[in-house]
Amino acid sequence: MTSLPISINRIRKVYGNYIALDDVSLEIRAGEFLTLLGPSGSGKTTLLMALAGFTRPDDGNLRIGERDVTRLAPNRRDIGIVFQNYALFPHMSVLANVEYPLRLRKIRKAEAHERAQAALSRVKLDGYGDRDIAALSGGQRQRVALARAIVFEPRVMLMDEPLSALDKNLREHMQFEIRKLHDDLGITTIYVTHDQREALTMSDRIAVMNAGRIQQIDTPDEIYHRPRTQFVAEFMGEANILPGDAFSEGARPASDMVMIRAESFHLEPPAGETIALTGRLTAKAFRGENWLLQVTTGERQVLFSIPATRAAGCEALTPGSEITAWAARDHLHVFAREAAT
């Protein structure tokens, strides 16, 4: 199955005074798994719905492969979509749901049946074809929605927070399954979520959105360790954002804004070049895999996340005591000046 690249060019959508999409441009490679990540109201779902054809942009171009689809009706775009609450058809059996797109494409009954069975078996639902939708669990419904979206071999897949209705364990399991399905089929996929961990787990690249704009588009590693803006840094996990002179060792000019992740800190200096922060402990919490220490330095609050495996001594710390923590110097990320504000 060949997949196609997607090109989003200066897409704009305004609702009254509210700018939902502010000239968004984005290139997605053929076969790529790209995640749109952002808080609610950031425009990620609007962008997805514009691609799907359910939201008409005010301006701009959407291209799938060589085809300009900006003005194409949703039923002629050949995009497989997995909706947030699955939007399965409750009056049809599982098999009828999966056969539905094939019936619309006038595929012979026998072949449609065969392909629907194959799609169900791909999502590990062999033998579930005759069931009612109402009789399925949340995870099974999710799989039916996936099977229905891939059965007609679309060149592009869109997923709108497909795992948000599942409980945590199932969600983590399905993250791997969806990624594996993507790797097997190679369909270009755009995945919308507000869960940064989900985005990091699944994506080739992540586009972080806020207020109708793309803040940064990069690999998970780059996004996490080298965020371009403070918004990205704070949205992705526990980040400490400080002026450069906050450090007791390895300080930088006060005009530099720097970021260092909470989990970069150690209570003993690691080998190599280091930086250090000193402050007064205000609160501490044990979270299983790590200890979380909240420390006040000057007027700022800093978070240290010390892995449980090297947290000897954390238990004995009392609030109010002065502590120093170290981190490898190359974990310090300096924001580019124009992006730092």
Q: Where along the sequence are the contacts to other proteins (CB under 8 A)?
A: 12, 52-54, 56-61, 70-71, 73-81, 83-85, 87-91, 100-101, 104-105, 148, 152
* 254 neighbors 243 (Cβ within 8 angstroms): yes
Residue 208: CB minimum distance to other proteins, A: 26
Using only C-alpha atoms, what is the Rg of the chain?
Answer: 24
- Select 18 or 315, whichever has its Cβ closest to other proteins: 18
What is the largest distance, in Å, between two alpha-carbon atoms of the chain? 75
Residue 212: CB minimum distance to other proteins, A: 16
Residue 106: CB minimum distance to other proteins, A: 10
Crossing angle of helices 109-122/94-104, nearest 10°? 130
Residue 162: CB minimum distance to other proteins, A: 12
Q: What residue type is assigned to position 224 of the chain?
A: Y
Residue 263: CB minimum distance to other proteins, A: 39
- Select 63 or 331, whichever has its Cβ closest to other proteins: 63
- Select 59 or 238, whichever has its Cβ closest to other proteins: 59
Distance between terminal CA atoms of the chain? 45
Residue 49: CB minimum distance to other proteins, A: 9
* 1 neighbors 186 (Cβ within 8 angstroms): yes
- Select 15 or 286, whichever has its Cβ closest to other proteins: 15
Residue 23: CB minimum distance to other proteins, A: 11
* 65 neighbors 129 (Cβ within 8 angstroms): no
Q: Which two tokens stand for residue 289?
A: 């895999």
Query: Computed from CA positions of residues 223, 225, 230, 231, in that sequence, does the dihedral angle turn out positive or negative?
Result: positive
> CA 89, CA 91: separation in Å to the nearest integer?
6
- Select 76 or 287, whichever has its Cβ closest to other proteins: 76
* CA-closest candidate to residue 160, choices 204, 195, 131: 195
Phi, psi for residue 295 in degrees, rounded to 5: -125, 140
- Select 81 or 208, whichever has its Cβ closest to other proteins: 81
- Select 62 or 223, whichever has its Cβ closest to other proteins: 62
- Select 60 or 65, whichever has its Cβ closest to other proteins: 60
Positions of E strands within the chain: 6-15, 18-28, 33-37, 59-64, 67-68, 79-82, 156-160, 188-193, 205-210, 213-218, 239-243, 257-261, 274-286, 290-297, 300-307, 322-328, 333-334
Residue 165: CB minimum distance to other proteins, A: 13
